[in-house]
Structure 1
Amino acid sequence: MAEQLKIPQAEALTMQAKLWPNPSFEIDEINIGTSVNGLNGTGYFGEGLPPISGNFGKNQQISASIEQLIQTAGKRKKLVDREQVHESMAAEYFQELLRGLKLEFRNSLSDLQYLQFSKNLYQTQLESIRLLSIAYNNQVSLGNVPQGEYIRLKAAELEIVKTINDLNVEIHSEQKDLKLLLNLPSDIVLVLTDHDFDLEINQFENLNLSDLSAKALESRPDYKLKVLGQEYARKNYLYERAQRVPDITLKAGYDRGGNFLYNFFGLGLTIDLPVFNRNQGAIRHAEYALKTTELLSQYKAQEVSNELILSWQNLQKSIELYNEIEPDYEQTLDDLLESYVYNFKNRDIGMLAFLDFMEAYLENKTIILGNKLDIQKKTEEFNYSLGTDLFN
């Protein structure tokens, strides 16, 4: 909201540039003592001056003048043109801010979803292993199970508890960032649904990067800012060149009693003679600024294209890993876990085999979740580098 206020600020500067210079009015040569005591207090009033009105202003000298600056060489229009470019730049700065905030916000949502999934995964395993720990503790009391196996099971339980605590810390951190971005009260607790965590992979097929590069140049506000910066420098160069032409000041004056006429009305003008200062330094400065912005615009265009290709390549690598995972692999893991828990309860498999599989299970599930999170983030990075939402 604060950044958005810079747009009407820039509009106000454009409005200011459209205004004409104010005229100046001057009153001078008022003789305070002469009207009462005469010249130098001698009582001599010269030839005398008639009163202005009634007895007011008798023998009173006064002069008045008004001046108006006239800007030449289209300086006012050139200044307005320059400020209008600045106005467009303020709007693009705001769009660039929104682009960055959108990426930050969506990545925070994805991170929070991932952390919630991970916490639920470990919470489910914690509930299962706690039931097993209670059962083993009873068997230890009956002397049917060695205490060492119970301790090893309890150690695995504590490891999962620690992991859940660490996830809670990360969840609280992500919630803090999201509540700040959403301007929500600090006591609000955010819980996201599972919606849209799994992406439609087929939407990434049949894309033409050359067409997308052109689209990025049309959409990205940071590139538009470079182009507008070049346009601003060009307008400023034209404005500085116009400063070579001196402005004209028109004058109109009235003099009472200070001339061979009692009431003298006259016209005049003032113009600087461009003998020494023809604004050479400012013109040269504006010329080099224009060349600089041209180079920066060219560099930015190359940077946009390279960023787009890099983000696309990174996204493709994440998709390749996703395609390496068989569609039913995750369900197979869940089914195997149930089988291992059942066999472990019936003591058909040993403690070591059970804990090894649980560790492998949690690691593989975390890899799958991490890959889905990575695809989401890489998708948002691609949208960010493109400057618009090509993918949902």
Structure 2
Amino acid sequence: MKISRKEAETIFLAKNLDLIAQKLEISQAEARAVQAKYWPNPTLSISEVNLWRTYDIEEQPALIRNWGKSTQISAEIEQVIQTAGKRRKNIELQKIEVEGEKYELQEVLRELKKTLRNTITEILYNQEQQKIYQGQIASIEKLTKSYNNQLNLGNISKAEYVRLKAQEIEFKKKLVSLKQEIEEQQVELKALLMLPSQTYLEISDSLVMPEKQLSELEVTQWMEKAKENRPDIMISKNKEKHAAKNLEIQNAMKTPDVAVSIGYDRGGNIMKDFIGLGVSMDLPIFDRNKGNIQEAKLEIEKSKLETRKNMMKSDNEIVSVFRNYIRTQQVSQEIDENYESTLDGLLVSHEKNFRLRNISMLEYMDFLDTYIGNKMIILDTKKELNQYYENLQYVVGQDL
């Protein structure tokens, strides 16, 4: 199955289970915010119901037809009223938690996008290596077959044939190792895209240098953007807001809630049908919630330190990744545009001269090592530039 980078990201955004699960976390937080808006339910209690008639009872009017003349009953409805704005503050706290879950989604997305893009880069890198070794294997197999015929005719020594055959086996072993590496990368990529296990993915893009030109003048701007966009920093800032709101709630908890009640009593006192009002509340004599208030204050200080730490970490990461990118870019600029095609042309020339025995096996093998080594330098540079570019987007917190 051939797939491009853009197609992979589209599938990833639509199907990745980690993203779907995190979106459900947001929905759960929104449900808690809705729940926080409701008042506590009133409490209904019924008591003092006699199940049989006692002696010396004072009969009362019937409740239902002839029933109830000797029945006593008491009922009460109680409603708790939250004081000091506890309900409003709790609603605001739940809204802050919804924001926090949204930032968590952005952080999960940032982490997974980096993993996805770097995995695709690794697969492209190994695909390009495969092409190099497959080309060399096809070429050297022809040479080995030709040398085997010459050996049988007694025109060359066995040592020359063995040296060529050893190189062929070495290339094939390297190709097997590359396929094993790609297989491991396939597992990770298919897990990110939620594709069936039998699917084999081939990335249709080529491994090229990043198109965007980066300048050191942008570093300060990236640092400011990171403070506004990096999800881990936004999560820390959200925790500060959460801690501050929690302190408000803990201070409000010093004020006891009030319970208002209305009760009805039939035959329980000097009045036959008594209706009365009542109010109850805790007396804040022993517990003034001091411990929870102190803990909330310390949580604010801790969250501020966490935010400061994440900001410093962000600045250091941006500078470090950018420097690595520039160093690798300087190496890439040393490579001439036509250098790779020149290498390919020289390889064809050396293979032809080797077949015609114009150059020795030692010269051919020496150039073959040089060719593969330089090809790998070019591929390594492209891979590293792509990875550093993606890491830079990761530490800035947005696509550049």
Q: TM-score, normalised by structure 1?
A: 0.95
1:337 partner amino acid: L
Distance 2:299 2:194 in 1: 41
Q: Does 1:252 align with 2:262?
A: yes
1:9 aligned residue: 28
Residues of 2 paired with 1:386 and 1:252: CA distance?
A: 61
1:146 aligns with 2:146: no
Q: Secondary structure at the match of 1:14?
A: helix
**Separation of aligned partners in 2, 1:274 and 1:205:** 63
Structure 1 residue 30 displacement after superposition: 1.2
Alignment pair present for 1:102 and 2:113: yes
Measure the CA separation in 2 of the matches of 1:386 and 1:3.
22
- Specify the SS of the correspondent of 1:2: helix
Say if 2:32 is the partner of 1:22: no
Q: Does 1:379 align with 2:398?
A: no
Contact 2:137–2:171 (CA<8 Å) still a contact in 1? yes
Q: What are structure 2's unaligned runs of at least 5 residues? A: 1-19
Aligned to 2:363, the other structure's residue is in SS state helix
- The reply to whether residue 172 of structure 1 matches residue 191 of structure 2 is no
Sequence identity of aligned pairs in percent? 39
CA distance in 2 between partners of 1:318 and 1:193 (Å): 25
AA partner of residue 372 (structure 2):
L
Root-mean-square deviation (CA, aligned residues, Å) is 1.2
Q: Is 1:83 equivalent to 2:94 in the alignment?
A: yes
The whole-number CA distance in structure 1 between the counterparts of 2:258 and 2:228 is 44
Which aligned pairs between 1:137-216 and structure 2 lie closer than 5 A?
137-195=148-206, 197-200=207-210, 203-205=213-215, 207-216=217-226
Q: Name which of 333, 341, 348 aligns with 1:338.
A: 348
Residues 345-379 of structure 1: CA distance to partner in whole angstroms, max 9, x if unpaired?
11111111110110111111011101100100111
Q: Rg larger in 1 or in 2?
A: 1
Partner of 2:398: 388
Letter in 1 for 2:97: H
Moved over 6 A (4+): none
| Distance (Å, rounded) in 1 between the aligned partners of 2:97 and 2:89 | 13
One of 288, 295, 298 as aligned partner of 1:285: 295
**Which one of 299, 321, 330 corresponds to residue 309 of structure 2?**
299
Amino acid corresponding to residue 294 of structure 1 in structure 2: K
Confirm or deny: 8 A CA contact 2:210 2:389 kept in the other structure.
Answer: no
Q: 1:118-161 CA deviation, whole Å, 9 max, x = no partner?
A: 01101101111111111111111222111211111111111101
The equivalent residue for 1:364 is: 374
1:74 matched to 2:85? The reply is: yes
Instruction: Look up the equivalent residue of 2:322 and give its one-letter code.
Output: W
SS in 2 for 1:299: helix
Which stretch of the first structure deviates more once superposed, 329-338 or 262-271? 329-338
Secondary structure at 1:199 match in 2: coil
- What does residue 326 of structure 2 align with? 316
1:232-251 matches, within 5 Å, as 232-251=242-261
SS at structure 2 position matched to 1:304: helix
User: Residue 77 of structure 2: SS of its match in structure 1?
Assistant: strand
Residue in structure 2 matched with residue 63 of structure 1 by the alignment: 74
| Rounded Cα–Cα distance in structure 2 between residues aligned with 1:318 and 1:201 | 15
Q: Is the CA contact 1:88–1:228 (under 8 Å) kept in the aligned structure 2?
A: yes
Q: How many residues align?
A: 381
Shift, 1:53, TM fit: 3.5
Specify the code of the residue in structure 2 equivalent to 1:32: L
Report the Cα offset of residue 273 of structure 1. Answer: 1.0
The 5-angstrom pairing of residues 221-236 of structure 1 reads 221-236=231-246
State the one-letter code of the partner of 2:63: I
**Matched residue of 2:203: which SS?**
coil
Q: Is the 8 A contact 2:210 2:385 kept in 1?
A: no
Residue 119 (structure 1) aligns with: 130
Provide the C-alpha distance between the structure 2 equivalents of 1:54 and 1:156, rounded to a whole number of angstroms: 109
Q: Which residue of 2 aligns with 1:271?
A: 281
Mapped contact 1:212–1:386 kept (Cα < 8 A): yes
Q: Give the Cα–Cα distance (whole angstroms) in 2 for the partners of residues 207 and 121 of structure 1.
A: 39
SS at the partner of 2:202? coil
Corresponding letter in the other structure for 2:28: Q
Deviation at 1:202, TM superposition (A): 5.6
Alpha carbons of 1:114 and 1:298: their partners in 2 closer, same or farther (altered >3 Å)?
same
**What's 1:347 paired with?**
357
Contact 2:247 / 2:293 at 8 angstroms: preserved in 1?
yes
State how far apart, in whole Å, the 2-side matches of 1:60 and 1:306 are: 81
Conserved? CA contact 1:236–1:286, under 8 Å: yes
Q: Is the 8 A contact 1:201 1:319 kept in 2?
A: no
Residues of 1 paired with 2:255 and 2:32: CA distance? 24
Whether contact under 8 Å (1:175, 1:189) holds in the other structure is: yes
> Residues 31-88 of structure 1: CA distance to partner in whole angstroms, max 9, x if unpaired?
2222xxx32xxxx22x432222331100211111100000000000111111111111
Normalising to structure 2: TM-score of the pair?
A: 0.93
